[in-house]
Amino acid sequence: MKITELSLENYRNIENISLSPCEGVNIIYGENAQGKTNILEAIFLFTGLKSFRSSKDSELVMFGKDFSRIKTQFETSHRKNTSEIKITDRRRASLNGVSLKSPTELMSRFPASLFSPGFMSLIQNGPSERRKFIDSAICQIKPRYAVLLSEYTKLVKQRNAVLKDNEDIKSVRLFLDCINDAFTNLGEEIYRERKEYLDLLLPYVSEIYSGLSSGKEEISFTYLRKGCHGEESLKEIVKNHEKADINAGITLTGPHRDDIEININSVSARSFGSQGQKRSAAIALKLSEAQVIKSITGEEPVILLDDVMSELDTLRQDYILNHIKDRQVFITCCDPGSILRMSEGKTFSIKEGRLK
């Protein structure tokens, strides 16, 4: 997919701009607080999702204005499209002249993959961030997985409610006996889907990470099943932890407690990685997530990279600027020096919400 035209009106600090991006790398550069991220944020809204920065739509409208309007023309493998989003206290979207019931209807129409500095929490924070990443990545390519996940989550909640209220141990055990089969079957299925996804992701992420590190470092994943010490099935793991579950009043094992360790040169990036290594790993994961989407849906997501350059050395920056081939990429950065090293592509300089 390629964006051919973009225009923003009264969008945050941007009163009115139009731009025609190129098919490859587009750099938006300027000093701090000039509107670079605002442009990426506006593009991201065409995915139909909420902004990655504001939970309130009204915050996107320029101070003192009643509404904001963003428009785009983009080409997918099937056709040329136009889309418009009008923002007041909520968003209303249209696609090819037809008003949509909800902006979420844009979701599969405008595939985009965003890296923002907030995404670093994937590497730095606890396991829940990594579970969220993998679960939402799978949901994008397998809608059925969302159903599986919500059924499983419901069972965890039920199980926890009974465990918490554990006055009568006998009836707790009776309930667990009833629910455990369904719980562990769903849990195994989630585990299998996640492993399958990691297998799908690994060749892409390896290639990108190796490119970013000039072939000096290798990335790998270890799926860590909570409470598993060898090759036990989830059924065995859960059984082995039944007493601990009852004591803790909560379900201690299952995919809702698993983690995916991201390793660089075989050691945990979270515990041992440098800033640049962690950033490279997060970028490689985002870029490869997009490649998996491409391999399944046939449509190449637009890549939005907010502030990726900081903390990366020139070799790593060069890889991003010159080796992400065949895809449309938007990169924001402060340092105009990066642009000089870009062999092909288009640059947009922004100052106080205006293109220079």
Ligand X SMILES: Nc1ncnc2c1ncn2[C@@H]1O[C@H](COP(=O)(O)OP(=O)(O)OP(=O)(O)O)[C@@H](O)[C@H]1O
Residues that bind ligand X (CB under 6 A): 12-13, 30, 32-38, 59, 61-63, 332, 334
CA dist., res. 241 & res. 262, Å (int): 26
Nearer to ligand X, 32 or 77 (CB): 32
Q: How far is the CB of 162 from ligand X (least distance, A)?
A: 47
Token pair belonging to 152: 């499983």
> Where are the alpha helices (H) located in the chain, listed in sequence order?
36-45, 121-124, 127-141, 143-164, 169-212, 234-240, 242-248, 269-272, 275-297, 314-323, 337-340
Q: How far is the CB of 281 from Mg ion (least distance, A)?
A: 21
Q: How far is the CB of 275 from ligand X (least distance, A)?
A: 17
62 binds, among Mg ion, ligand X, none (CB under 5 to 8 A by kind): ligand X
Which of 301, 132, 293, 316 lies closest to 201, judged by CA? Answer: 293
334 binds, among Mg ion, ligand X, none (CB under 5 to 8 A by kind): ligand X
Hey, which residues between 28 and 57 contact Mg ion (CB under 5 A)?
36-37
Nearer to ligand X, 53 or 92 (CB): 53
Q: How far is the CB of 257 from ligand X (least distance, A)?
A: 35
DSSP-assigned beta bridge partners for residue 346: 26
Q: How far is the CB of 306 from Mg ion (least distance, A)?
A: 6
Nearer to ligand X, 31 or 168 (CB): 31
12 binds, among Mg ion, ligand X, none (CB under 5 to 8 A by kind): ligand X
What is the signed CA dihedral for 235, 241, 245, 250, rounded to 10 degrees? -60
Phi, psi of 231 (to 5 degrees): -115, 20
Phi, psi of 194 (to 5 degrees): -65, -40
Chain residue whose CB lies nearest Mg ion: 37
Nearer to Mg ion, 27 or 93 (CB): 27
Q: DSSP assignment, residue 47?
A: T
Residues that bind Mg ion (CB under 5 A): 36-37
